[in-house]
C-alpha cells in the first residue's frame, strides 16, 4: 500500500469515527432534551405554590378603633394602618347609593381629598384614594381609604367626623324604615 493510500484510509477511518461520534452525541443530546423537558414538567408540578401561600404573613400593624355616635351607638370599626384606613360599618345593610354616603361622604369628602392631593402635585398612585367593597348582595361591607396621612390629626378628625355623621344619618334612615 502506498503512502497516499494509507493516508486516504486513515482519513476515511477518522471521518467515519467522527461521524459516528456526531451521531452518538446527537442521540445523547436528544435524550437529554427529553429528560430536561420531563424534569421541567415534574418540577413545575411539585413546586407550584398558590400565590396566597407565597404572601408572607405579616403581623397586622393596624390599630382598631370603634366609631360611636352621639347616643353611644356603635357605627363602625376603624382599622388604621400606616397610610390606610379600613372602615367596616355595623349600622345595618345599605347600598353605596344611599344618601348621604354617595352625596356627602364620597363626593364632598373623599373626592375633595383626592382633588387636593392631585393639585398639590401628587401622582395618581400617591394621591388619596378610596374603594367601596360590597358583599354578595351588593351592600356596603367595607370602605378602604389609601394614601391617608394618619399622623395628621386634622385629616383624621375630618375623616372620623365625616364618617360618623354619614353613618348616623344612615342609621336614622334604617331605623325610620324599620320602625325601630
Cβ–Cβ under 8 Å, residues 179 and 134: no
- pTM confidence score: 0.65
Q: How confident is the model at residue 96 (pLDDT cuts 50, 70, 90)?
A: confident
| CA 89 to each of CA 18, 136, 165: distance values in angstroms, whole numbers, following the listed order | 80, 16, 12
**Per-residue confidence (pLDDT) for residue 58, from 0 to 100:** 52
Cell 348621604 belongs to 100
* Whole-number percent of the chain with pLDDT over 90: 59
**Per-residue confidence (pLDDT) for residue 179, from 0 to 100:** 64
Amino acid at each position: 500500500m502506498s503512502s497516499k493510500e494509507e493516508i486516504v484510509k486513515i482519513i476515511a477511518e477518522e471521518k467515519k469515527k467522527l461521524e459516528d461520534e456526531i451521531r452518538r452525541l446527537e442521540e445523547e443530546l436528544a435524550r437529554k432534551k427529553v429528560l430536561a423537558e420531563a424534569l421541567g414538567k415534574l418540577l413545575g408540578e411539585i413546586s407550584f405554590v398558590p400565590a396566597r401561600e407565597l404572601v408572607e404573613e405579616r403581623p397586622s400593624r393596624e390599630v382598631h378603633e370603634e366609631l360611636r355616635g352621639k347616643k353611644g351607638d356603635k357605627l363602625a370599626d376603624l382599622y388604621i394602618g400606616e397610610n390606610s384606613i379600613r372602615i367596616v360599618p355595623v349600622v345595618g345593610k345599605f347600598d353605596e347609593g344611599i344618601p348621604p354616603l354617595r352625596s356627602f361622604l364620597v363626593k364632598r369628602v373623599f373626592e375633595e381629598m383626592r382633588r387636593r392631593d392631585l393639585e398639590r402635585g401628587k401622582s395618581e398612585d400617591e394621591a388619596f384614594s378610596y374603594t367601596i367593597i360590597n358583599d354578595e348582595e351588593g351592600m356596603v361591607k367595607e370602605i378602604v381609604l389609601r394614601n391617608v396621612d394618619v399622623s395628621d390629626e386634622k385629616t383624621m378628625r375630618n375623616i372620623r367626623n365625616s364618617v360618623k355623621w354619614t353613618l348616623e344619618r344612615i342609621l336614622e334612615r334604617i331605623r325610620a324604615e324599620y320602625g325601630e
